[in-house]
């Protein structure tokens, strides 16, 4: 079991855009397995490769609708309608910080699985929130970037402590 190191707020890799996966080879499959191990060890809902210092468009998550692990390679999403909902989010890379984030309630997701098979599915509720959160990571965006300026100001001292204690990049 490989427990990968989680990059913490302040690490530059969290602010970089991940590169598409060109070839789903043994190395990519090993990274995905290591990411699953890390996700389970840390009791997370989802994990993007940026969060473990790998700039590839890979996401692993536990699909809350069927309680099964799911890997998304080169994931993309688009909103199905304009309806949004607010829900509390946290992040393994921003430990101890939780806040309400407004996200699309329903999205259409496209990606590949570990066998290279094209995935195309509708996600709503918690699954939609997880996918949006993790794809944000692949684009160098953290959930705290989606908060109001007032809420970020309230969290500023906590974020500063995380940054000064956890900057490993």
pTM, rounded to two decimals = 0.94
- Inform me whether the pLDDT recorded for 167 exceeds 90: no
**Would 114 be classed as within a structural domain?**
yes
Q: What share of the chain is helix, strand, coil (3-state, %, to 5)?
A: 35, 30, 35
List the catalytic residue out of 68, 79, 85, 134: 134
Counted domains in the chain: 1
What residues are paired with 79 via a beta bridge?
A: 107
**Would 7 be classed as within a structural domain?**
no
76 is catalytic: no
Which domain range does residue 29 map to? 12-166
Annotated binding residue 91: yes
**Would 158 be classed as within a structural domain?**
yes
Annotated binding residue 73: no
pLDDT tens digits, one per residue of 106-132? 999 999 999 999 999 999 999 999 999
**Would 125 be classed as within a structural domain?**
yes
Annotated binding residue 90: no
**Would 1 be classed as within a structural domain?**
no
- For residue 40 the two structure tokens come to 């389970």
Kindly give, in sequence order, each residue whose CB lies less than 8 Å from that of residue 126, ignoring residues fewer than 6 positions away: 45, 64, 65, 87
**Would 97 be classed as within a structural domain?**
yes
**Would 141 be classed as within a structural domain?**
yes
How far apart are the C-alpha atoms of 161 and 135, rounded to whole Å? 26
Here the CATH number for the domain that contains residue 130 is 3.90.45.10
């Amino acid at each position: 079991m490989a427990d990968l190191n989680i990059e913490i707020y302040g690490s530059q890799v969290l602010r970089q855009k991940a590169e598409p996966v060109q070839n789903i080879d043994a190395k990519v499959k090993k990274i995905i397995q290591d990411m699953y191990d890390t996700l389970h060890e840390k009791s997370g809902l989802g994990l993007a490769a940026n969060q473990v210092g790998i700039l590839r468009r890979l996401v692993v998550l536990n699909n809350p609708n069927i309680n099964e692990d799911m890997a998304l390679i080169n994931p993309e999403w688009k909103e199905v309608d304009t309806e949004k909902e607010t829900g509390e989010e946290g992040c393994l890379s921003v430990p101890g910080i939780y806040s309400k984030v407004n996200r699309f309630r329903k999205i259409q997701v496209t990606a590949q699985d570990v066998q290279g098979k094209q995935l195309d599915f509708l996600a709503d509720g918690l699954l939609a929130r997880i996918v949006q959160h993790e794809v944000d990571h692949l684009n160098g965006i953290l959930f705290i970037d989606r908060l109001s300026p007032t809420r970020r100001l309230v969290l500023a001292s906590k974020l500063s402590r995380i940054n000064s204690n956890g900057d490993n990049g």
